[in-house]
Chain A
Amino acid sequence: MSLASYGKPASPAVVAVDALGPFAGVAVLVLLMHFVIGPAVGPYYAKILVDIAISIVLAVSLNVVNGFTGQFSIGHAAFMAVGGYTAAAITYFGTVKIWGGLPLVHADPQGWGLFVVGTVAGALVAGLFGLFVGLPSLRLRGDYLALVTLGFGEIVRVLLMQTGSIPDPKVIAEAPLYTLPLKLGGSLGFGGVPTYTNLFWAWLWAGLTLVIVYRLKASTHGRAFLSVREDEIAAEAMGIPTTSVKVRAFVLSAALAGIAGALFAHELGTTLNPKELGFQKSFEVVIMVVLGGMGSLSGAVLAAAVLTVLPEVLREFSEYRMIVYALILILVMLVRPQGLFGIHEVWELPVVRRLLGGRGPK
């Protein structure tokens, strides 16, 4: 919480800094990533950095549901899939429709506008699905809700598997728009999506996600979310509309996951494939949130980064890689059951506060 909210009315300047500061921070981060770090580390590490950004969007968005409101969703990959397919359909079919037979693998700056439109549309459609899945949470709690999200995820996966193969550009150019959503590549995946995702876009969306969710956590809305997690009945008694809070959390979380899906769909070297976006992917995100500590944003960011890098580091162990990963996961749960940071942010931990010099913010 900032000083602006205490005592006398803050000066317009303070308010402006308060409101715009984080966005300036995101701008700096994005420019740094794109123009300094990216060229410096080369394409291999740049791809890992993009993967980390996508993981951050996923983990932080799932945290809104699992961490803030304490509901338990294990179908996050489905929202990612919905967002990813929506965005890919818009950029792929859109490119053909607008520019005709463009070489589709190229990520021309010409198409950036389309990419942004696709990403936003992906977020909106995923958010709509979030509404559908959030509604059962009016009735269900705990593990049952988890099962609905899981079942929903599997349904999305199966339906995507049933879509037809992607038509030739010539056919696309002639085909009426409404027939295209049924031709998304089926079990082979949606190949040939233009590869727009780079450090710039990935970290831009990751930064925006962080700002949005962090602000939410510190706001009245956010406290309503947290109160649902702590004690739903007490929250209800305090006049918090717990059901609408839960549904809103689902919608926001799903929309952000849709953005992650859009980024994933347009990344170089990934194939948008229903098999990749099944419950295993959802579990991966849940693991990030729990390892980071439920409700801790910095924890989620850190866990997302670590768990994205870890399989790369373990690549040397080749076939033992996933075994080591699984063992680490089990050991962390046994040794540090509250996750790396519990419900706190990194800077709220006693150790870090001491390092920062005595009395940090409480």
Chain B
Amino acid sequence: MTKLLQASMDGVAVGSLYALIALGYTMVYGILKFINFAHSDVFMLGAWFSFAICGFLGYTTADHPVYAALVALIGSMAMCGALGFTIERLAYRPLRGAPRINVLITAIGVSLLLENVGQLNSNKFLAEYGIKFPFGTRPTSVPLLLPDQPLLSFALDSAHPNTLVNVLPVDVLVIGVAFTLMALLQYLVFGTSLGRAMRAVSYDAKTASLMGIDVDRVVSITFVIGSALAAAAGFLYGQKLQSLRQSADGLWVLLGLKAFVAAVVGGVGNVRGAMAGGLMIGLVEQFGAAYLSTNLRDLYVFSLLIVVLLFKPEGLLGKAVVEKV
């Protein structure tokens, strides 16, 4: 029972991170119909930026102003938003109308670019300004912004009074921020004129332009929002797994890919589906890790992908789309 509760909580926490990343994938896919492989690197840079901000402002331990986490979060969301805007402008917009495989390759190129910029040892230059990058080839660990004493700690099983369920502040932060952001996005997409325009563009961009919608602007906004959400996920991920020594490498891309799997499982192009898919992937992964084997996490996720694609290719929340003849 203890294990079950712990696995559920971890699953929801990790799953909401996947959901945040998946939203960026699914929104871009919905509008431009390509897998933005660079999105996972934006996620990575989100973590990187937030730690850089911490280093710059001197938030290195848990003895920090109360708002430190918020500053790091919003700062990195803004920086990644700007990055997403730039990537779309420089690399993807010139390819509007080109075969999708080209856009895909370009996305892989952008991904490689960001990933390797992330691995640069630029510490020498920036260290003079007090900016420490925990990335690069020799990573250091992430500063802890929240106290690591559990907020709540209790034993469920009276027979094992020492196996406790721990609710850490960081779990509250992760789940709280992720759900707040998802609620905001839900409102934006389904409750505002901009959201309506986004849905119209994703259905038929040409007709949307005949309604007076500036499609390029909608695409830009989509990238900014998606990238900001990925940045939030990056920051939260770093806080959740502080013990992990971060380095900018394939690990992030793999996390990003799993988030894309979440988008597909939920029904690609579908905002609610991405949220549901993210949670589902998180739960499957954590339950698999808790009850089967921790080493096979990726296996559960990708097996779920294949099963879903084979039996319900439109995703769990997607609608069947008939290919036009």
Is the CB of B320 closer than 8 A to any CB of chain A?
A: no
B91 closest partner in A (C-beta): A330
Is the CB of B147 closer than 8 A to any CB of chain A?
A: no
Is the CB of A159 closer than 8 A to any CB of chain B?
A: yes
Contact B298 A322 (CB under 8 A): no
User: Which residues from chain B contact A151 at a C-beta distance below 8 Å?
Assistant: 261, 302-303, 305-306, 309
User: Which residues from chain A contact B115 at a C-beta distance below 8 Å?
Assistant: 322
A136-B306, A327-B113 known; A158-B299 Cβ under 8 A: yes
A162-B296, A325-B112, A333-B102 known; A319-B325 Cβ under 8 A: no
Interface size (B, Cβ < 8 Å)? 45
- Kindly identify which residue among B101, B313, B325 contacts A294, using a CB–CB cutoff of 8 Å: B101
**A186 vs B250: C-alpha distance when bound (angstroms):** 18
User: Which residues from chain A contact B253 at a C-beta distance below 8 Å?
Assistant: 279-280
Interface size (A, Cβ < 8 Å)? 43
Interface residues of B in 272-317 (CB under 8 A from A): 295-296, 298-299, 302-303, 305-306, 309-310, 313
- Kindly identify which residue among B105, B295, B325 contacts A286, using a CB–CB cutoff of 8 Å: B105
Most buried by B among A136, A144, A161, A325: A144
Q: Which residue numbers of A lie inside 8 Å of B, CB to CB? A: 72, 136, 139-141, 143-144, 146-148, 150-152, 154-155, 157-159, 161-162, 233, 275, 278-280, 283, 286-287, 290-291, 294, 319-320, 322-323, 325-327, 329-330, 333-334, 337
A155-B302, A162-B295 known; A140-B313 Cβ under 8 A: yes
User: Which residues from chain B contact A152 at a C-beta distance below 8 Å?
Assistant: 302, 306
Contact B109 A147 (CB under 8 A): no
* A-B contacts, CB under 8 A, total: 120
Contact B112 A155 (CB under 8 A): no
B98 closest partner in A (C-beta): A337
**A272 vs B94: C-alpha distance when bound (angstroms):** 40
Contact B109 A329 (CB under 8 A): yes
A330 closest partner in B (C-beta): B109
A sample of 20 inter-chain contacts (CB < 8 A) reads: A139-B310, A140-B309, A150-B257, A151-B302, A151-B306, A151-B309, A152-B306, A154-B298, A155-B306, A157-B298, A159-B299, A280-B250, A283-B108, A286-B108, A322-B115, A326-B109, A326-B110, A327-B113, A333-B109, A334-B91
A143-B35, A147-B309, A162-B296 known; A329-B105 Cβ under 8 A: yes
Contact A72 B101 (CB under 8 A): yes
Contact A144 B309 (CB under 8 A): yes
**A330 vs B113: C-alpha distance when bound (angstroms):** 9
Contact with A along B87-114 (1 / 0, CB 8 A): 0000100110011011001101110110
Contact B105 A333 (CB under 8 A): yes
Contact B113 A147 (CB under 8 A): no
Contact A148 B105 (CB under 8 A): no
Most buried by A among B29, B261, B305: B305
Contact B305 A147 (CB under 8 A): yes
User: Which residues from chain B contact A278 at a C-beta distance below 8 Å?
Assistant: 250, 254
Is the CB of B120 closer than 8 A to any CB of chain A?
A: yes
- Kindly identify which residue among A147, A286, A322 contacts B112, using a CB–CB cutoff of 8 Å: A322
Is the CB of B116 closer than 8 A to any CB of chain A?
A: yes
Contact B261 A333 (CB under 8 A): no
Interface residues of B in 155-208 (CB under 8 A from A): none
User: Which residues from chain A contact B91 at a C-beta distance below 8 Å?
Assistant: 330, 334
Is the CB of B62 closer than 8 A to any CB of chain A?
A: no
Contact A326 B105 (CB under 8 A): no
